[in-house]
Amino acid sequence: MKFNVGGIDRVLRIVVGLALVAWALMGGPVWAWIGIIPLATGAVGFCPFYPLLGLNTCPMKK
């Protein structure tokens, strides 16, 4: 698996993911659990949709 999420993209995914999960834990709507996806993709540095779209925000070529 190659990294394709990097820099600001990765930080934003983690922050948004944490915010949505926290909202869900505090009694927010059920759909807020979708925050697990950006949190996970930011944490591992890979987004499965980026190759389909031809995107790569990671400056390193691994």
Domain that holds residue 24: 7-53
How many separate domains does the chain show? 1
Please check whether residue 46 is in contact with residue 57, taking contact to mean a CB–CB distance below 8 angstroms.
Answer: no
Q: pTM higher than 0.75, yes or no? A: yes
Backbone angles phi, psi at 59, to 5 degrees: -75, -20
The string of pLDDT tens digits covering residues 11-47 is 999 999 999 999 999 999 999 999 999 999 999 999 9
Identity at 22, one-letter amino acid code? A
What is the model's pLDDT at position 61?
A: 59
For the record, the structure tokens of 32 come out as 């807020």
What is the model's pLDDT at position 44?
A: 95
| Nearest to 29, CA basis, from 21, 18, 39 | 21
For the record, the structure tokens of 45 come out as 């540095």
Looking at the domain assignment, is residue 20 inside a domain? yes
